[in-house]
Amino acid sequence: MSKYWKELLIGGGIATLGFLAYIGYNIVPVLIAIAIGTLLFFAIKSRGNLATAGGDRHARGRVPLELSFDEIGGQERAKQELIEALDFLVKQDEIARFGIRPLKGILLTGPPGTGKTLLAKAAARYTDSVYVAASGSEFVEMYVGVGAGRIRDMFKNARQKAAKAGKSSAVVFIDEIDVIGGKRDGGQHREYDQTLNQLLTEMDGIHTSESPRILIMAATNRKEMLDPALIRPGRFDRHIGVELPDKKGREHILGIHARNKPLHASVELSRVAEESFGFSGAQLESVMNEAAIYAMREQQQEISHAHLSSAIDKVMMGEKTDREATREERERVAIHELGHAISAELVRPGSVSTVALSPRGQALGYVRHHPQQDQYLYTREFLEGQIIIALSGAAAEEMFYGSRSTGSRGDFDQAMNIVRTMVESGLTELGIIDSSMMTPDSWAKISSSMLERLMERTKDVLNGHRQLFLSSLDILLTEETLSGERFRELMREDLQSA
Ligand code: ATP
């Protein structure tokens, strides 16, 4: 109807103007006014379009994506599971023949920096879809309804982009879904509830026959926080764990990020992978990048193992700081670190990688350990060994100075966390207990009794090695670092002379 009105108005306007001109009126000023008005109208309209495109904060992945699964290291199981799920999208005819309902949502869960975003991008490429991404925090607004509106826009935008690019599907990726998808608590956060409801509505509106088809992928590292409505069958019903890579995975990721970097022939990525236990993909990428920066700063042609080793220290502990410590402080720190190193070698021979007396991040010195192999289960003996290593810094300070310092704070936190793990795993004299029933008093009792007993053992262990402390101290004070090999040599000499 409105279409006819427009036409009637335009037609009537032209007829009136013609009639006025015919009876001798000067219609030039009216024509000029109409021309200016039309120009203004189109100018405003095109600005509006630009604003929608520019302000389209959800369309981060605008450029055609060239990221494939081959560029994601480790994560073989996650990749496999994801590809199997995506095949539902690719093999449309088959799923229609079997009457399988469409896959709507895939939830990727795991620690930060493990490659969840990369997997979503690779999924878009694998399914030949357009990729639209947003982070949960982008939907959080003070005003009720704004977040919900943004969700609507994002889906609309995905459909339009797919249509424009001539693709039959779109992957919508929402990072940090827990920000909007947290459990609803009955009315306290109406804005969050509306945003989540809108997302659920959009998901329910996805049908097999729809074109373009939409696949929603979301990432979180707090799956337990999500509202059950979001993860019920028919919504995010595929859950794929994206965990920290194991040694083989780390080597693979390092290899991917080393592709465009000149590595010295002597560099063994398997060794770097061994030293970077517990690192995520993002941290490994950073190790490679930092190593390249060190090599460039030193005006070297190639990246050596020493550069990679410093890069691991930097990623683990932070950048070297130029905090000036006094000679007494440096000596105390050296004794403290040697305490850790000696007990580490005694508890787990061959595990010390470097002892360093250079301030990094918050630490004035540090010992870097390399685990011989990735480990996922720990026995009571192993954990007690870890506590002994953590307590050794303070024990060494007591041995040489008769007192401890604030430098042991982090070590005690670490020891206390291990005690907590042991209690919760039923590895203490308390037996198998429900730790949520424990009072702060009983926590204090068990941790102080365990830590005191282990502190005595630690002191006994270290007492027999006074000479080793003194010989290593000199080297550490002058050279600032002591490699694991050199330290073990000194230890052998010490044992022979004993
Ligand atoms: P977050 O949960 O913090 O959003 P994420 O799991 O989505 O993190 P990504 O954004 O995918 O992590 O990864 C960040 C960067 O880390 C990538 O751009 C890449 O350089 C590197 N990276 C992470 N995981 C891998 C991997 N498995 N293979 C290769 N590179 C990786």
Q: Which of 60, 106, 108, 117 to mutate to test the pocket of ligand 1 (most atoms within 8 A of CB)?
A: 117
Query: Which position has the token pair 């000149």?
Result: 262
CA–centroid distance, 281 to ligand 1, in Å, is: 6
Q: Which of 100-104, 135-139, 352-356, 470-474 has the weakest average pLDDT?
A: 100-104
Question: What is the 88 CA–ligand 1 centroid distance (Å)?
Answer: 25
CA distances from residue 473 to 335, 396, 466, 467 in whole angstroms, order as listed: 7, 12, 11, 10
Instruction: Please tell me the distance between residue 118's alpha carbon and the centre of ligand 1 in angstroms.
Output: 6
| CA of 177 relative to ligand 1 center, distance in Å | 17
HSE (CB half, 13 Å, CA atoms) of 141? 14
Q: What is the number of the ligand 1 atom nearest to the C-alpha of 252?
A: 28
HSE of 275 in the Cβ direction (CA atoms, 13 Å)? 25
Contact 338, 393 (CB under 8 A): no
What would the pLDDT profile of 126-185 be if each residue is shown by its tens digit? 999 999 998 888 887 666 677 888 889 999 999 999 999 988 889 999 999 988 887 766
pLDDT tens-place string over residues 233-286? 888 888 999 999 999 999 999 999 999 999 999 999 998 998 888 899 999 999
Task: Tell how far the Cα of 72 is from the centroid of ligand 1, in angstroms.
Answer: 8
What is the average pLDDT value for the chain, to the nearest integer?
85
Which ligand 1 atom sits closest to the C-alpha of 108? 6
> Measuring from each residue's beta carbon to the nearest atom of ligand 1, which residues come in under 6 Å?
72-75, 112-118, 175, 219, 253, 256, 281-282, 285
How much distance in Å is there from the Cα of 159 to the middle of ligand 1?
A: 27
Q: Residues 312, 272: contact at Cβ < 8 Å?
A: yes
Atom of ligand 1 nearest to the CA of 74: 27
Does pLDDT of 58 surpass 60?
A: no
pTM of the entire predicted model = 0.73
- Ligand 1 pocket: which of 76, 107, 118 to mutate (most atoms <8 Å of CB)? 118
111 Cα nearest atom in ligand 1: 2
Fill in the amino acid letter for 137: S
- Residue 180 CB neighbour total at 10 angstroms: 30
Task: Identify the pLDDT of residue 173.
Answer: 95
> H or E stretch including 107?
strand 105-109
Chain centroid to CA 481: 31
Identical fold, 55-241 and 327-497: no
State the Cα–Cα distance between residues 85 and 71, nearest whole angstrom. 19
What confidence category does residue 335 fall into, taking pLDDT thresholds of 50, 70 and 90?
very high
Determine if residue 165 is left, alpha or beta; phi over 0 gives left, psi from -120 to 50 gives alpha, anything else beta.
alpha
C-alpha to C-alpha distance for 180 and 151, rounded to whole angstroms: 11
Mean pLDDT, residues 12-27 taken together? 85
**Phi-psi sector, 278: left (phi>0), alpha (psi -120 to 50), beta:** left
Distance CA 303, CA 293 (A): 9
Question: Which of 67, 80, 114 best tests ligand 1's pocket when mutated (most atoms within 8 Å of CB)?
Answer: 114
Q: Strand 352-356 vs strand 366-369: parallel, antiparallel, or unpaired?
A: antiparallel
Residues annotated catalytic, as ranges: 337
CA 72 from chain centre, in angstroms, equals 14
Taking the C-alpha atoms of residue 254 and residue 305, their distance in angstroms, rounded to an integer, is: 13
How much is the average pLDDT of 428-443?
87
Please state which CATH class domain 247-317 belongs to.
mainly alpha
- Residue 222 Cα to ligand 1 midpoint, Å, equals 17
**What CA–CA distance (Å, rounded) separates 197 from 148?**
8
The closest of 167, 160, 172, 159 to 131, measured between CA atoms, is 172
- Say if domain 55-241 classifies as CATH 3.40.50.300: yes
Residue nearest to atom 9 of ligand 1 (CA): 115
d(CA 91, CA 112): 32
DSSP β-bridge partners for residue 366: 356
Topology given in CATH for the domain delimited by 327-497 = Methane Monooxygenase Hydroxylase; Chain G, domain 1 (1.20.58)
* φ/ψ (deg, to 5) at 400: -95, -30
Indicate the top mutation candidate among 285, 286, 289 to test ligand 1's pocket, ranked by most ligand atoms within 8 A of CB. Answer: 285
pLDDT tens for residues 347-405?
A: 999 989 889 988 887 788 888 887 666 677 889 999 999 999 999 999 999 999 999 99
Where in the chain are the domains?
A: 3-45, 55-241, 247-317, 327-497
| 49 pLDDT tier (thresholds 50, 70, 90) | very low
